[in-house]
Amino acid sequence: MRKVIKRIWQAGWTNFKRNSYLSFGTTGVMTLVLLLFAGLMAVQYVSGQIVSGLENKVDVTAYFKQDASEGDILQVKQDLETRPDVQRVTYVSREQALEDFKAKHAGEPLIQQSLAELADNPLEASLNIKARESDQYAEIVSFLEGNKFRPVVDKINYYENETVIRRVQSIANGLRNWGLLATFLLAAIAILVTFNTIRLTIYNQRQEIEIMRLVGGSNSHIRAPFLIEGGLYGVFAGLAATVIFYPAVWFVSSKASSLLPDISLIGYFAANMIQFLLIVLGVGIILGVISSYIAIRRFLKV
């Protein structure tokens, strides 16, 4: 078995080296294809970050009447927290609200003055609710509406924010869906380009393949080195794509940081370098091997 593997490996490697011109061209095309894949990954990451950034800005706050007891409010909080679509509920007591307000307007003497004149705290306690997905707010709000503590709720700011929430939601969905569609389309193009390139490479060697059949080579015996060769295109293209991609990301990242200060492209890819390399190599090898397998089939019929 080891001898067989050694023979296949040697034959594949030798063929790769001796076809240097073809190998170089095929690897080059595949490198571009893998760079396209990597670019798609980057675009997916950036658009994902933009979407979740937008979604993070969306929340709903329920304000409680001044006479609502803390126990009731905490009960509502507990009820909300049992729901699977609720990610986080933050309770802001009246005192806390006042503190926050004061802190926020610390530099404005007029506001401070008017606050001091008030005998009572005018602010209401509130629950700030964060849903897991932005399209779940409507349901959470209707749950609140139906809650037995509804009478102590003064108002829910969802109704004021509804249009904004819906718009954010549709932008997020649009970005996600179109991004996915574009990714699939480009990935399909990339696969076709790779397949055709490898097909041409093997077409160039069709006579060799036929001769191998004529001198008694079995299909598997002839095919194996070609599959190794296909895999080698993938390995070299994967390495080349990584070597080109990281400096490019670094460059783009430094330019884009002023535009998208919250997103660090290079940070993301640097942290996931091993995974990136594995994915790119994996995609390259699988594409190379499968394309070779399909392309060689028709020349093995002699």
Partner 1 sequence: MIKFKDISAIHGYEDFALDIPELHIKDGEFVSLVGPSGAGKSTLLRLMTRELRPIQGEVLIDGVNIAELSHKEIPLLRRKIGTIFQDFKLLSKKNAFENVAFALEVSGVEPEQIIQDVPKVLNIVGLADKAKNFPHQLSGGEKQRLAIARALIHRPGIILADEPTGNLDMVNTYDVVKLLMKINEFGTTVVLATHNREVVNAVGKRVVSIDNGKIVRDQMEQGKYII
Tell which residue, 17, 152, 23, 14, has the closest CA to residue 75. 152
Does position 213 interact with partner 1 (CB under 8 A)? The reply is yes
Tell which residue, 200, 190, 202, 189, has the closest CA to residue 283. 190
Q: How many residues belong to the chain?
A: 302
Task: Identify whether the C-beta of residue 62 lies closer than 8 Å to the C-beta of residue 143.
Answer: no
Does position 5 interact with partner 1 (CB under 8 A)? The reply is no
Q: Which is nearer to partner 1, 7 or 105 (CB)?
A: 7
Q: Which stretch binds partner 1 (CB under 8 A): 29-37, 207-215, 235-243, 278-286?
A: 207-215
Q: Which stretch binds partner 1 (CB under 8 A): 64-72, 139-147, 169-177, 218-226?
A: 218-226
Give the chain's end-to-end CA distance (angstroms, integer): 27
> In whole angstroms, how close is the CB of 285 to partner 1 at the nearest point?
23
Does position 232 interact with partner 1 (CB under 8 A)? The reply is no
> In whole angstroms, how close is the CB of 1 to partner 1 at the nearest point?
12
Considering only residues 1, 119, 214, 274, which one is a binding residue for partner 1 as defined by CB under 8 A? Answer: 214
Mask for 166-185, x = binds partner 1 (CB under 8 A): --------------------
Site for partner 1 in 88-147 (CB under 8 A): none
DSSP states of 115-151 as a string?
HHH-SS-----EEEEEESSGGGHHHHHHHHHHSTTGG
Inter-helix orientation angle 20-56/219-256, to 10°: 50
Q: Which is nearer to partner 1, 52 or 220 (CB)?
A: 220
> In whole angstroms, how close is the CB of 22 to partner 1 at the nearest point?
10
Cβ neighbours for 274, distance < 8 A, ≥ 6 positions apart = none
Q: How far apart are CA 91 and CA 255, in angstroms?
A: 40
Q: Could you identify the residue written with the tokens 């610390």?
A: 106
Q: Which is nearer to partner 1, 15 or 291 (CB)?
A: 15
Does position 221 interact with partner 1 (CB under 8 A)? The reply is yes
Q: How far apart are CA 158 and CA 118, in angstroms?
A: 29
Does position 48 interact with partner 1 (CB under 8 A)? The reply is no
Q: Which is nearer to partner 1, 194 or 205 (CB)?
A: 205
Does position 188 interact with partner 1 (CB under 8 A)? The reply is no
Number of residues that bind partner 1 (CB under 8 A): 20
Q: Which is nearer to partner 1, 7 or 150 (CB)?
A: 7
Does position 215 interact with partner 1 (CB under 8 A)? The reply is yes
Considering only residues 82, 216, 261, 262, which one is a binding residue for partner 1 as defined by CB under 8 A? Answer: 216
Q: How far apart are CA 176 and CA 170, in angstroms?
A: 10
Considering only residues 165, 198, 212, 240, which one is a binding residue for partner 1 as defined by CB under 8 A? Answer: 212
Does position 302 interact with partner 1 (CB under 8 A)? The reply is yes
Tell which residue, 147, 97, 105, has the closest CA to residue 125. 97
* Element spanning 14, H or E: helix 2-18
DSSP states of 155-194 as a string?
EETHHHHHHHHHHHHHHHHHHHHHHHHHHHHHHHHHHHHH
Site for partner 1 in 17-36 (CB under 8 A): 18-19
* Contact positions vs partner 1 (CB under 8 A): 3, 7, 15, 18-19, 205, 207-208, 211-219, 221, 301-302
